[in-house]
Structure 1
Amino acid sequence: MKMPTPSSGLKSAIKGIFWLGSAALVLIIAVGIIYLISAQTSPSGKRIIKSLGDSVSITFDESDIPHIQAKSSTDALFALGYLHASERSWQMEINRRLASGRLSEILGKETFEIDRFIRTLGIKRAAEKQFDRYPIATKRLLQSYADGVNAGNAHLGWALPVEYFLTGSKPGNWSPTDSVAWMLMMALDLGGNWQKELQRLELSQFLSTKQVWEVIPAYTPGEPVSNTDFAKMYRDINVFNPNPLARDQKSKKLPATELTINEVPGGKDGIGSNNWALSGKLTASGKPLLANDPHLGLSAPAIWYMAHLEAPGLNVIGATLPGIPAVVLGRTDKFAWSFTNTGPDVQDLYIEQLDPKNPGVYRGLDGPLSFKVRQEIIDIKGEPSVRFLVKETRHGPVISESYASAKRVIDTDRFVLSLRWTALDIENQSVAGLLDMNHAKDLDTFKHALRKNYAPMQNVVMADVDGNIAYQAAGVAPKRTLHQGLYGVAPALGWEKKDDWTGYVPFEQLPNSNNPSTSWIATANQKILANNDPNPLTGDWDLPTRYDRIVELINGRSTHDLASMKAMQADTLSLGATPLLGLFKSVQSTHPLAQQAMELSKNFDGDMKIDSTGALIFNAWADQLTRKLFSRLGYLFTENYGSRNFRSPLILQLENPNSPWCNDPQTERIESCAETSNAAFDKALEQLSAQFGSNPKNWVWGNAHIAVSEHRPLSKVPFLGSLFNVAQPFPGDSFSVNVGRLELLRTDNPFETKQAPSLRTLYDLSDLEQSLFIYQSGQSGWVQSKFYRNMSALWARNEYLPLRMKPQKVGRQLDLAIKEK
């Protein structure tokens, strides 16, 4: 027998490996094809549902908006839950786990710190207690929605969204309290005052109170709502951590995660929105026009899902939040409504003093008090479970043991920080308020339903077909008195009565307006005062740049129509840039590219157009100038620059040409603001050359200002991130009506934006069927669906899709049927 030669044996082995590899590749391709065929990315046909009261018909229009026709509200909400699960199953699973502090069960130790913080706040526990007090009729609606979610997930079968396979997980059970918990998470995302309080506390280690106000200024500079010298107060009681090394070691952002579930929600500048209503006196049709664009974090899939619900006593279309059984922003056939964040101060931090002999006791108003203590257990994928204790004071949960920035700043042997927050109140029934709003017959009953909105407080601007426009701030906020105590601007001493809450502002005293003489209403997170209450709802309003520009645009025309409303939503003139243009254009530089850059910027007027070179050069200069003035704050600047934009303190300091903040403390000579501006310009040119090449003609705003909708949690995973994320060049900046807040130090590209109009809607009350909408991704949460990102380019170009109750074209149809007896 002839023995095989080594070379022939090697060839056989290679051939075998080749065929084995080919077979594996064929198998993978076959499984992929079977998966793509089996995945129910666009369900249609008939589904038999056991727990349904009666059959429901769902038709999908050309934009893939479902039109749900049901014979009862419970069945309509069941169908909405079914669709949310069918289209956004993974998004809902992540949201459910985030609100319950259970991300680490499927994502591992990277998300432990987020889970611990959410468990410390007790979001799910609060939701359960609140749900117990909901009216029985509302509980039934929430339960029906939850049943729909679970039925929708069950009908997905084995071919789940690919994220489940990548994380080795499956959809969990959705309960009514998960919906209540997600509403609390929205309130947390739209809050964040406590983080600003914490930053003022941290700055007080190194700065005087006057200097702290220069870094995080009052809304009206020089007129803070509190006159307390809090920096001295903190030093007098020795509140600060005596060990600087410990502070430096814990100065990283919390949490650090490669999987990007983001940081603790809330605490970012610019989370807000625009809305405005014009009465018929200002419109071509003689009927009102209404506009809304909420500014939330961009995500893929989007935070919103459009839907139309129709049943006896219910006919509403608009934006829903997967996880919540209601149209949050939208219209009926009689009226339309819109939200912006009022931004009241509903979160206060308290410094609680520990008993040195008994760490289980803290100092109360009249003597020692015992902490309420509970144990939490977090299961972590691939790691042992972690048990920890959560303490509560009379004000609320102790956060300084679960939030690194809070823990590092104080002497933890003597103090803790607790949080009081309205949203955790057992009386909170905001989801019930949304359901009542959806069932309102007219504007009057809608306004009555707003009384149930608890948190987050919203500026609700409304209009109806009868020609009325109205405004109401809806939610709860603590009563405060100007210049009494700290007014919530910085952590208060928990054992002193003067900063305790004494009640909430009555609904009747909240700001409101009906058919004002101006014939228009607008809100953009600017300062709002009630006529009968001179005490502002917070001391930390946003800069009024968007509001001021909206007012300019409203007054700039005698007559408006849908076209002018579109132009207003697309407006990119930045009133946060215009105060700096004089200094910018007076720059003197010897940089080789300076002359060309200045020539390209000479006509720049603050309009952040997508094709503007001046916009990019200006923003790079403003970024570097901000760093030069405030980077001396060390980690307290680097950690917060991005979530805080620092534009307000920059503008204020540059009003003084010799501001001490312009001087570089590391040089012997004293620099003026003009000299620091010149140095910032040189640095900006170096940065732009490195990032975009040495030809300034290529320095176009749209090349740098990219709107990124991040997927949770795969956005930072190589290859998968580019597959799941949605990105578009985008105009605007942090202060324009068409907002695109810069990330600054938070990303490698400081000009990137992850917070922009998450939705745009326009309503013409002369014909509500002409209503329009757009958002930045698509209806589907399935990455392989054509509806995953189909709206992205339209959104970036400020184009719209119809929002009709009676669509001109109908695509697929899905029927949910009861089992025949």
Structure 2
Amino acid sequence: MARIFRWLLRIVTAGLLTAFLVACVTYYLASRSIPDYSARLSVAGLAGPVEIVRDNANVPHIFGSTDEDVFFGLGFAHAQDRLWQMTMSRRAAQGRLSEIFGVRTVKTDELLRRFGLYEAASASVSSLDAETRAMLEAYSAGVNAWIATVNEGALGRGAPEFFLFSREIAPWRPADTVAMGKIMALQLTGQLQEEVLRARVSLQLPEPRLADILPDVPGPGTAALPDYASLVPIGEPPAGWTQYALDPLSPVKPRAFAGASNAWAAAPKRSAAGKALLANDPHLGFTAPTVWYLARVELSTGGVIGATIPGIPFILSGRSDALAWGITSSYLDDQDVFMEELNPANPQEYRTPTGWKAFSTKSSIIEIKGSEPITITLRRTENGPVLPGSHYNLDKVTPGGHVASLGWTALSPRDTSMQAALGLQRARTIEEAIDAMELFIAPAQNLTIAEPGRVALKMVGAMPNRNPGHASQGRMPALGWRTENRWAGRMPYEKNPTFIDPVGGILGNTNNKTVDRPFPEHVSFTWGDTQRIQRWTRLMQTREVHTRESFIDAQLDTVSVTARTLLPLIAKDLWFTGEAAPEGTPERQRQRALELLANWNGEMSEHLPEPLIFAAWLKHLQNRLVRDELGPLSVEFAHPEPLFLERVFRDVDGAAVWCDVAQSTAQETCTDIARIALDEALLWIGANYGTALESLRWGDAHEALHDHAVLGEVPVLKWIVNIHQSTSGGDFTLLRGRTKGSDPDPYSNVHGAGYRGVYDFSDPDSSVFITATGQSGHPLSRHYDDLGALWRRGEYIPMSLDPALARAANVGVTVLTPAE
């Protein structure tokens, strides 16, 4: 027996030693790819020496003798910290994820190949002027210099993820940078999904009820639309509802996460210090590391500092000494779905205004790790690429004998957006910035701009020139062969909404409706916000003058106007009714919840129980209202729609009919449904978070999930690479934390302000910024998540263009010299 024990002890000891040695070797190999920020390197492609000074937050300040050398340095810094992130974004644009991830990403690759984003990006490079191409070439050379340094020095392949995926790293090219812009456009538009959803709902509901569930943003000027069946000969609505889960690696986002942001500015007369202020917090899906990367570049026209996206060598939100700018999603209707009629005698042809025409076709081979490659045929029409019905539920709105094609501004093969971005970096006045951005194509953005003495807002991006007689006004798919449904190029740039030197001294955007103009100059029928704008307006107008601190307070504001508006409506017949129910009964739990909500001010604080009760109530309430009318389609409305709920409980145009359950013989009232939904919500809360309502914390449910797209689900590794934080805010607060909406954690915070910046011209060096994780994409680096704790607490770091401050307490200075 003792002998067996000794051998077991030896085996266990050997196993533990082996595991320890494997862990040590793995750590050593992985840590080799952590950059040495104090290195002195000789690299090819430089005209003169470049200094990359990394301040104590690891923000690179890049100095060189020419602008090309500065962009070279930015490419080098991006690659040092985010090479894996950059290569994954490039693979997504190229439709080549399956080469390393296998069958899980085939559907994503197929869709991206059909869009043709990378081909359009490659074609667009020749449309850029020589100077912009030179800057993109220099940036690419900087990225490639780091790749060469990694290969020559055996520096862990540049990132730990590359050990798991043995593909070689292709050199970076200017087309890759242009493609990054097109990937951003894909992430920030939801108009295709909106068209398909509206068409699908219109096939199930009468027009008044369609106006309830997909309401127009309040305001005059929108005409009623015909139903979809009268536009396209679809016949009987197809049965079922196709759903497929989106891979975390896919840049395609559901309609509910199509982009958002906040930006506002105050002119000197509304600034306490007498100089302009600007705040910006663009919203994207959370990842680890975050999408954003802080940087400063010292150009011939002066220093520029702010937020970049690795792969794109320009400051997208930030400031120079003369100008500050921020971006928000404009919600421009930049996409149209066309139903293309097939030739019955030859399905390789489609109908055009002048007769039948053959599709433009091309074969594309998708290589798949661990499986045989597949070949797909890409087809295009005059309107755009053909998309199969298996994507975006297009099969549910495509009539027999037709296929769907997509018109989209981002597919332009003459995309000059990068040239516009370079012009913005060098602009010294509002007018110069606006003029430079005329060349911007996609994604369409509201650009908020400030000089020390002035402020402005301009929508930038190509606005499709639609015919006033368009059958659906771009709100639903339309027949592609009808001349009135086709685009006639781009509207003149001066038609893009413009606001300069507002009389009130303050302007801003929360993705709200910006203009009330008739179609086709309307910009959009679908807007990203109707709630945050109300809170923002109140915060701006309750102060005569603003400061950097008041702008920060507004960015971090957690009060929900939605809660303050809807609670009195949905609970008006439930407050304080009847005697106190016995303890332990559903009635008593309901009374306790109502007592808490009655004394709540609508603040979505992570430390309070009321936000969780309110959020769960609204979710169960909307589900109760829509599921019998919409059936399986109700899954598309996983997030509460405030305008819909308000219409129902105010009985606007008979909208209270939603409260009656069509399948039951009883006549349910809105009070009945509100009570039932609250009881269901409390049962769900009890099962998931406990029945002691006073002890609930919104932050336990509303964790910000910054997950690694590849390693985030791998056992053990996920505890290293994922960053989870308890957070305040919600779907409708200025501190926006968009919830996931789906089980098992429907209130997880998955989409919000990965970057925040406040720029103050009264004291430019007191301007501040922050990102949601850290500068490094390396999980073993101390800069992987060091900014995340500050971000969660609502703190910032200084944004200074003073070289001396950058050098003080720096974490390293990289010196690059030209190779002989």
| Fold match by TM threshold 0.5 | yes
Q: Which amino acid aligns with 2:674?
A: S
**TM-score, with length taken from structure 1:** 0.93
The answer to which of 623-632 and 270-279 deviates more is: 270-279
Partner residue in 1 for 2:781: 785
Change (3 A) 1:53 1:435: same
Q: Which amino acid aligns with 1:630?
A: V
Q: Which amino acid aligns with 2:765?
A: E
Change (3 A) 1:270 1:121: closer
Pairing 1:139–2:127 present: no
In the alignment, the residues of structure 2 paired with residue 136 and residue 262 of structure 1 have an alpha-carbon distance, to the nearest angstrom, of 33
Pairing 1:756–2:752 present: yes
Aligned positions, number: 800
Partner residue in 2 for 1:621: 617
User: Deviations along 1:360-412, whole A, 9 cap, x unmatched?
Assistant: 0111113211111111111111111010101111100011255161135434x
Pairing 1:424–2:411 present: yes
Q: For residue 486 of structure 1, give the secondary structure of its aligned residue in structure 2.
A: coil
User: Deviations along 1:539-568, whole A, 9 cap, x unmatched?
Assistant: 112333222221211110112111111111
| Correspondence list, 1:419-818, <5 A | 419-465=406-452, 467-480=453-466, 484-529=470-515, 535-586=521-572, 588=574, 590-632=586-628, 633-638=630-635, 640-642=636-638, 645-656=640-651, 659-745=656-742, 747-806=743-802, 807=805, 809-818=808-817
Q: Which amino acid aligns with 1:112?
A: V
Change (3 A) 1:468 1:422: same
User: Deviations along 1:478-522, whole A, 9 cap, x unmatched?
Assistant: 234667521110001112122111232211222112211111111
Pairing 1:38–2:32 present: yes
1:110 CA displacement:
0.5
Change (3 A) 1:33 1:189: closer
2:375 is aligned, of 387, 391, 416, to 387
1:352 CA displacement:
1.0
Q: Which amino acid aligns with 2:787?
A: M
In the alignment, the residues of structure 1 paired with residue 301 and residue 392 of structure 2 have an alpha-carbon distance, to the nearest angstrom, of 49
**TM-score, with length taken from structure 2:** 0.93
Q: Which amino acid aligns with 1:583?
A: L
In the alignment, the residues of structure 2 paired with residue 585 and residue 63 of structure 1 have an alpha-carbon distance, to the nearest angstrom, of 48
Pairing 1:87–2:81 present: yes
Q: Is the 8 A contact 2:68 2:139 kept in 1?
A: yes
1:48 is aligned, of 36, 42, 47, to 42
1:304 is aligned, of 260, 280, 292, to 292
1:17 CA displacement:
3.2
Q: Is the 8 A contact 2:214 2:644 kept in 1?
A: yes
Q: For residue 387 of structure 1, give the secondary structure of its aligned residue in structure 2.
A: strand
Q: Is the 8 A contact 1:522 1:551 kept in 2?
A: no
In the alignment, the residues of structure 1 paired with residue 433 and residue 526 of structure 2 have an alpha-carbon distance, to the nearest angstrom, of 29
In the alignment, the residues of structure 2 paired with residue 719 and residue 482 of structure 1 have an alpha-carbon distance, to the nearest angstrom, of 58
User: Deviations along 1:613-665, whole A, 9 cap, x unmatched?
Assistant: 22211111001001101123233221x234x6433322222221872211122
1:429 CA displacement:
0.8
1:325 is aligned, of 313, 329, 332, to 313
In the alignment, the residues of structure 2 paired with residue 528 and residue 695 of structure 1 have an alpha-carbon distance, to the nearest angstrom, of 44
Q: Is the 8 A contact 1:571 1:736 kept in 2?
A: yes
Change (3 A) 1:660 1:532: closer
Q: For residue 490 of structure 1, give the secondary structure of its aligned residue in structure 2.
A: coil
The answer to which of 586-595 and 382-391 deviates more is: 586-595
1:741 CA displacement:
1.3
In the alignment, the residues of structure 2 paired with residue 213 and residue 188 of structure 1 have an alpha-carbon distance, to the nearest angstrom, of 27
Q: Is the 8 A contact 1:583 1:677 kept in 2?
A: no
Partner residue in 1 for 2:90: 96
1:532 CA displacement:
11
Q: For residue 788 of structure 1, give the secondary structure of its aligned residue in structure 2.
A: coil
Change (3 A) 1:385 1:481: closer
In the alignment, the residues of structure 2 paired with residue 219 and residue 499 of structure 1 have an alpha-carbon distance, to the nearest angstrom, of 24
Partner residue in 2 for 1:121: 115
User: Deviations along 1:81-103, whole A, 9 cap, x unmatched?
Assistant: 11111101111111111111111
Q: Is the 8 A contact 1:481 1:535 kept in 2?
A: no
Q: What is the aligned-residue RMSD (CA, Å)?
A: 2.3
1:339 CA displacement:
0.9
Q: Which amino acid aligns with 1:268?
A: A
Q: Which runs of 5+ in 2 are unaligned?
A: 578-585
In the alignment, the residues of structure 1 paired with residue 13 and residue 612 of structure 2 have an alpha-carbon distance, to the nearest angstrom, of 54
Change (3 A) 1:612 1:9: closer
Q: For residue 196 of structure 2, give the secondary structure of its aligned residue in structure 1.
A: helix
Q: Is the 8 A contact 1:190 1:266 kept in 2?
A: no
Change (3 A) 1:179 1:820: closer
Q: Is the 8 A contact 1:301 1:788 kept in 2?
A: yes
Q: Which amino acid aligns with 2:458?
A: Q
Q: For residue 463 of structure 1, give the secondary structure of its aligned residue in structure 2.
A: strand
Q: Is the 8 A contact 1:482 1:535 kept in 2?
A: no
Q: Which amino acid aligns with 2:451?
A: D
Change (3 A) 1:650 1:262: farther
| Correspondence list, 1:280-295, <5 A | 280-295=268-283
Q: Is the 8 A contact 1:437 1:450 kept in 2?
A: yes
Identity %: 31
2:338 is aligned, of 325, 350, 354, to 350
In the alignment, the residues of structure 2 paired with residue 141 and residue 221 of structure 1 have an alpha-carbon distance, to the nearest angstrom, of 45
Q: Which runs of 5+ in 1 are unaligned?
A: 1-6
In the alignment, the residues of structure 1 paired with residue 372 and residue 689 of structure 2 have an alpha-carbon distance, to the nearest angstrom, of 47
